[in-house]
Amino acid sequence: MTSRRILLLIVLAGLAVAPAVLSPFMVTLLIFIGIYSIVALGLVLLTGVAGLTSFGQAAFVGLGAYTTAYLTTTIGLSPWLTLLIGLGLTAAAAFVLGAVTLRLSGHYLPVSTIAWGISSYYLFAHVDGLGGATGITDIPPIEAFGYPFLTRESLYYPIWLTVLVTMQLIVNLLDSRPGRAIRALRGGILMAESFGIATPRYKMAAFIISALLACIAGWLYAHLLRFVNPTPFHLDAGINYLFMVVIGGASQVWGAVLGAGILTILQNYLQDLLPHLFGQTGNYEAIALGVCIVLLLQRTQQGAVSLLDRLLPPPPAAPPGEVTAAERLPERPPLPPGTRLLVVMGASKRFGGLTAVNNLSFSIEAGEIVGLIGPNGAGKSTAFNLISGVLPLSSGEIRYLGRRIDNRSSRRIARLGLARSFQHTRLLPDMTVIENVMIGAHLRSRAGILRALLRLDRAEERSIRAEAARHLHRVGLADSMHLAAGSLALGQQRILEIARALCADPTLLLLDEPAAGLRYQEKQTLAALLSQLRSENVSILLVEHDMDFVMNLVDRLVVVDFGEMIAQGLPEQVQADPRVVEAYLGGIE
Ligand code: ADP
Ligand code: MG
């Protein structure tokens, strides 16, 4: 048994016996830590994993608490029914808030959640029937199987069970198709969209899930105290929840519990201790707390959980036998060779006064490898971004299999069978190599959030993993499968991107300088792989700098300089073209 397992068992055993051995005060503290942990777990998903910040979680806690408080006391609904109503209201509120702000990037979500926090606090305090500053009292207890949870202690186990179940559900979610999409939201949106991931939907999902968890915490809170007032749902509390995940470690589930624990205990003890130390009362705890947090963050960027991580021996590497036989993912029917795949007609792109691509026209047929070459700054990457929908055209037309694609988003273009790599690699450095490649298969699989939470996605997940492993073998990265992608050399990161693109089962593969940073031998291997792909009817548009690499590989070359096509044809024709010689000799080498 690993020491991590042992520690986990000790923690679980400690939680199990705590009510029997600790003082009532400590048990109450643990109960509150459990409730805060549920909110913090939502923030681990939203902020730690997806990179979206919400200051408004306390307001969702309040919505859950006030919904049940009001409906159970005024019209006598069962707490179980009011939980459902609260979850419905919360989902609706989060949806509206998310719909307004999540599409916009930057600080709109934090700012709007602050507004949400302030305005809902105002409502809790001022709406008739909610009891104003005194709040609502005489909330009935939760009842289950005829047993009412009357005392605080009686809710200890239900609350901690909820925490543990929530942790497991989040772990399940993160290790899944929708989980990878959510993990890509932090710094990988452009890449994710290029593989067909509808990033706004996953942002919304993460936001709603975190709000629902806050609502559940609020419901528990109301039935624990049996009264509610507006104070605990103030914006300050929303900031506190964020502090918890920052302190604990925002990207791991245990970080939420640890952070909730540390902050709650610190706040409690500092409140009692400091006036003693200084011999007078005052608002010292805020200052002392701030100092503690700064000290902790200086020691570690990833919060307390990472300190713990360093003390423990590393977890054993994932066993290599993990990739098991599985049913193959669906594949696209092959196109007959000679089908017109891509037609670029008079495409232009202007950046202000600079024309990066000027009236570019060329086409690609199924089964061809076409090289797009030209000196640095010639507009090759821009042309790529136009074709893959990352940038809108200034003028011109692009067709794929006869359909206009120049007005489509990269996500919709990906659906048609286009997959790409990026000149400046775009991968998720903290995820393993194979997980990065698995993102490529997003459109070939279907598991949604519910299936992932309940682990009903395992068969499909095995298929995705097997497919990713197959392509990693193909490109020669199988040995690095379980390493963090960020630990690969730059050249290998480019190869990873090819495997990820292949995982999408593309009909046209767009590769932007895949050989850059590779050694001679590695370039040979890559060239052999690309030839192999052509024989499997994958067409390739290859941007390359290295003339030698391209010459023996491609069927045709398109040469651009200053955004304009200066030559196109067979490699040997192009090589002899005086304009190409001039552009190239005048440009590089
Ligand atoms: P290549 O890939 O052939 O080296 P690029 O397509 O990256 O060339 O760039 C072509 C020209 O467009 C360069 O002059 C570059 O500075 C400019 N350019 C590229 N992207 C942008 C952008 N987003 N904004 C402004 N100028 C850009
Ligand atoms: Mg480029």
Q: Report the amino acid identity of residue 489.
A: A
Ligand 1 centroid vs 238 CA: distance in angstroms?
Answer: 43
Domains of the chain listed by start with CATH number: 9-309 (1.10.3470), 339-417+508-589 (3.40.50.300), 429-505 (no CATH)
Q: Is the CB of 199 under 6 A from ligand 1?
A: no
Do 4 and 12 form a contact (C-beta atoms < 8 A)?
A: no
Nearest to 519 by CA among 495, 541, 499, 500: 495
Q: What is the pLDDT of residue 2?
A: 81
Q: Is the CB of 376 under 6 A from ligand 1?
A: yes
Residue 77, by phi and psi: left (phi above 0), alpha (psi -120 to 50) or beta?
beta
Q: Is the CB of 356 under 6 A from ligand 1?
A: yes
3-class DSSP state of 145: coil
Ligand 2 centroid vs 190 CA: distance in angstroms?
Answer: 16
- Of all protein residues, the one whose alpha carbon is nearest to atom 19 of ligand 1 is 382
Mind listing the pLDDT tens digit for each residue in 439-496? 999 999 999 999 999 999 999 999 999 999 999 999 999 999 999 999 999 889 999 9
Q: What is the pLDDT of residue 588?
A: 47
Q: Is the CB of 389 under 6 A from ligand 1?
A: no
Ligand whose nearest atom lies closest to the CA of 560: 1
Task: Give the contacts of 469 (CB within 8 A, at least 6 positions apart).
Answer: 323, 434, 478, 481
- Of all protein residues, the one whose alpha carbon is nearest to atom 24 of ligand 1 is 351
- Which class for 239: exposed (0-12), middle (13-18), buried (19 or more C-beta within 10 A)? middle
Ligand whose nearest atom lies closest to the CA of 588: 1
Q: How far apart are CA 341 and CA 576, in angstroms?
A: 28
3-state secondary structure 231-272: HHHCHHHHHHHHHHHHHHCCCCHHHHHHHHHHHHHHHHHHHH
Ligand whose nearest atom lies closest to the CA of 377: 1
Nearest to 348 by CA among 510, 581, 563: 563
| The two structure tokens encoding residue 125 | 């305090």
| Ligand 1 mutation pick, 190, 349, 351, max ligand atoms within 8 A of CB | 351
Ligand 1 centroid vs 291 CA: distance in angstroms?
Answer: 46
Ligand 1 centroid vs 377 CA: distance in angstroms?
Answer: 6
Q: How far apart are CA 87 and CA 212, in angstroms?
A: 6
* Neighbour tally for 534: CB within 10 Å: 18
| Ligand 1 mutation pick, 373, 382, 393, 541, max ligand atoms within 8 A of CB | 382
Rg (CA), the chain: 28
Q: What is the pLDDT of residue 106?
A: 65
Q: What is the pLDDT of residue 260?
A: 94
Q: Is the CB of 354 under 6 A from ligand 1?
A: yes
| The two structure tokens encoding residue 550 | 């391209």
3-class DSSP state of 565: strand
- Of all protein residues, the one whose alpha carbon is nearest to atom 27 of ligand 1 is 351
Ligand 2 centroid vs 132 CA: distance in angstroms?
Answer: 62
Ligand 2 centroid vs 379 CA: distance in angstroms?
Answer: 7
Ligand whose nearest atom lies closest to the CA of 378: 1
- Predicted model pTM: 0.93
Q: CA-CA distances (angstroms) from residue 221 to 58, 63, 214, 297?
A: 12, 11, 10, 30
Nearest to 372 by CA among 552, 565, 516, 523: 565
Q: Report the amino acid identity of residue 475.
A: V
- Can you tell me which residue has the tokens 């992932």? 452
Q: What is the atom index within ligand 1 of the atom nearest the CA of 351? A: 25
Ligand 2 centroid vs 361 CA: distance in angstroms?
Answer: 18
Ligand whose nearest atom lies closest to the CA of 390: 1
| The two structure tokens encoding residue 12 | 């679980």
Task: Give the contacts of 264 (CB within 8 A, at least 6 positions apart).
Answer: 29, 32, 33, 36
Q: What is the mean pLDDT of the chain?
A: 90
Mind listing the pLDDT tens digit for each residue in 99-117? 988 877 667 888 899 999 9
Q: Which residues of the chain have pLDDT under 70?
A: 105-106, 274-275, 278-286, 297-301, 315-325, 585-589
- Of all protein residues, the one whose alpha carbon is nearest to atom 10 of ligand 1 is 379
Q: How far apart are CA 134 and CA 546, in angstroms?
A: 74
| The two structure tokens encoding residue 413 | 């273009």
Q: How far apart are CA 544 and CA 514, in angstroms?
A: 7
Q: What is the pLDDT of residue 26?
A: 94
Alpha-carbon 294 to chain mean position: 27
- From first CA to last CA, the distance across the chain in angstroms is 59
